[in-house]
Amino acid sequence: MNKKILSALFSLLFIAQANADIIVYDPWIRSAPVNASVLGVFMQIDNQTDKDIKLLSAYAQGYRRVEIHRTVNDNGLMKMVRQLFAPIPARERLILKPGSWHIMLIKPEKVPDIGSTVAIKLEFDNGTVQTVNAQVKSGKKMHMNNHEH
Ligand SMILES: [Cu+2]
């Protein structure tokens, strides 16, 4: 076996192993009007390790900024608060969903169509970097006040 193939195999093994620590399920983006300035991204993140992990940041091409947000109830008013990270306790699952934790795509160059996918790169504090393809779906409108993503 030549060296090139061998090193390719090794890097594949490494990727498979790294990804086994963190498993992302069902990444999706809630569809928005063509003039929307933000889009919410949701998913479930499984921490398969015995250590707490933090989601530190997310990136997507074609957006001015990508932030980690959490919608909180502030005296009956739902509002989004930017978070420095999202915690995923050991052996637990963090659920990003409307009205709770989410990733916010801010100032899109173009709002993606329903059915299209957006590649979102996730960076965790254990060194894992994982890119997921989030599909744009028409999410149910939540009967809530403003600023609910
Ligand atoms: Cu938000």
Question: Separation of 20 CA from ligand 1 center, angstroms?
Answer: 28
Q: Which pLDDT score is estimated for 1?
A: 59
Question: CA angle, 9 as apex, 7 and 14 as ends, to 5°?
Answer: 95
Rounded to whole angstroms, how far apart are CA atoms 72 and 14?
A: 38
Question: Separation of 129 CA from ligand 1 center, angstroms?
Answer: 22
Question: Separation of 22 CA from ligand 1 center, angstroms?
Answer: 23
Question: Separation of 117 CA from ligand 1 center, angstroms?
Answer: 19
Question: Separation of 147 CA from ligand 1 center, angstroms?
Answer: 7
Question: Separation of 54 CA from ligand 1 center, angstroms?
Answer: 18
Task: Using pLDDT thresholds of 50, 70 and 90, give the confidence band for residue 144.
Answer: very low
Q: Is the pLDDT of residue 128 over 90?
A: yes
Q: Is the pLDDT of residue 44 over 80?
A: yes
Stretch 58-78: mean pLDDT: 96
Question: Separation of 6 CA from ligand 1 center, angstroms?
Answer: 44
Q: How many CB atoms lie within 10 A of CB 115?
A: 10
Question: Separation of 40 CA from ligand 1 center, angstroms?
Answer: 6
Q: Which pLDDT score is estimated for 3?
A: 72
Q: Which pLDDT score is estimated for 12?
A: 62
Q: Tell me the two tokens of residue 136.
A: 């744009």
Q: Tell me the two tokens of residue 48.
A: 């398969």
Q: Is the pLDDT of residue 18 over 70?
A: no
Contact 86, 54 (CB under 8 A): yes
Q: How confident is the model over 79-95, as pLDDT tens digits?
A: 999 999 999 999 999 99
Question: Separation of 143 CA from ligand 1 center, angstroms?
Answer: 16
C-alpha distances out from residue 110 to 31, 70, 104, 136, 148, Å? 12, 24, 15, 13, 21
Q: Which pLDDT score is estimated for 5?
A: 73
Q: Is the pLDDT of residue 35 over 90?
A: yes
Q: Which pLDDT score is estimated for 143?
A: 44
Q: Is the pLDDT of residue 149 over 60?
A: no
The amino acid that residue 11 corresponds to is S
